[in-house]
Structure 1
Amino acid sequence: MAVEKLLSTRKLAEYLDQEAEDQLDGHHVYDIGNYGWVDEDTPDPQFLGHAMWQVDPPLQHEHHSWYGEAPVRHRPTEEEEILAVSGTDFEGLMRFARMSLGLSLWQQQLAEDALFDDNHYFWLHYLSAMVMLNAASDRLREFFVMAFFRDKIKIYEKKGKKHSWYQTPFSEARDATNESMAELLGKLDSLAEEIYQHRDNRNKMIHEVATKVGKWERELTYQKRQRFDEQKNFGFVGQSPEFKDITANFTEAQELHKVELRKTTEQIISWYKTLIKASSYVFEVENIMRRRRS
């Protein structure tokens, strides 16, 4: 069916961006750069690590040296490179995840009203957000391993089977620290467990979404086979379902459909917010460890 195009591509992009932002704001899902400050000059104690990362990152770039206006005064170390790259990667992946989440939330109302539709766009943006959050979780862990243990992630994971588990470095750091950082690393270890649970759910959900259409087709095939066997054994008995029964079944199916969609978006929102909290603690740990070593 032909659809009249009322907006230019640029205007449509602006409209989608605003709609996604409105949905995200309504769910209190903010850009990662907006955390860390109560006001322009006051760090937020709940997200102190984000303020530290923004004003005192592990690698300061000498902007005046880029175009030959001043000499380069510091040669970046490999450790600084890994921290800077993994930290910046984490930020970028969180922003991509947030954009996908916003578009998924925007599509959610349409999906809720389309019980018998495949809702490709909703699930597309939902899966995209999950993939980005999973990658962001990896980058955050890589950053932490270098910040606390001063190890590359591949070297750390070769130390033993458990070292490849997501939560292990956070638990090891909690057990190895002194009292001054015990509370901070204890909170971080708890959040690492939550991140692991989100990653585990992600593997199940990707499989479920990818096979959703196939499952529906399998169920229809099973019902058809069952009806055929009943007719073969007992003969065909024609019956017309009551309208009230059809309506009741449809209403129940629609409510279950809405609950499923809302649970999926709630899971993604929870994962995003958990990573925001965890990354603040990770950035704070890195800053403390760097100052101790200097």
Structure 2
Amino acid sequence: MPELPEVETTRRKIAPLVTGRTVLEIQHLNPEKYPDTELAHGRTVLEPQRRGKYLILPLAQGDAAPDRELIVHLGMTGGFRLEEGPHTRLTLRLSDGALYFNDPRRFGKVRVVRSGDYGALPTLAAMGPEPLGEEFGLEEFTQAAARAGAVKPWLLSQRPVAGVGNIYADEALWRARIHPAQGRLSEEQAARLHAAVREVMQEAVELGGSSLGNGVSNYRQHDGDWGGFQLQHAAYGRGGQPCPRCGTPIEKTVLGQRGTHFCPQCQVLE
């Protein structure tokens, strides 16, 4: 948490607050965790972008083309707020207002890089295609899936498709009727999973992502809004509850050091 749907919702919501504003100062007390942020000072924020789970704010000097990018990874509990709070780790002061980066568990990352220079961000540099874009091709996905090991860790690697994390991997695999530990997918399995990833991500984006727990230490938006996709979860977080498709209790296991939820009746390991 947060994954692509939550980051995309964040991008859409903060865009009107930052686009066209000048960065006056980025304040924080941890230059090792938030490196080179002073390079944003005096630059104008252009329309925010997103790549997988990363939020990217292009920065331009005057009327020139953007030459820097403010990269934000929300980590497990990061998010922007309109007011400073006890878990504020970084303040983005703009020519018209401010945003406060709130991160109770401190896994979020913020840094400024030269545009397109992701050498210090290897996951971003090697990220696969966007699941809702045309570049997420079935043929390439099928070929890679035929050689892959356990499918859930493979999805979480970000190489076959960008932005899929623990929640949406469980949900897509449940829809595709594929066991999370299944390796070397057949063409039919790969096609089902390809479609399921697209469907789950699209629906989650439309509902503003998933808000879990009390919404205080977990994801919610700067304006206090919660996501709505958690109400649609069929597998994730539903250990012991009946599968919505067959009624068999959802099982929880650990795979690749991640809690994993699946239906033992619908998702049989072959």
Alignment TM class, shorter chain as reference:
under 0.3
Larger strand proportion of the pair: 2
Normalising to structure 2: TM-score of the pair? 0.24
| Greater RCO, CA 8 A, separation 6+ | 1
Normalising to structure 1: TM-score of the pair? 0.23
Highest Rg: 1 or 2?
1
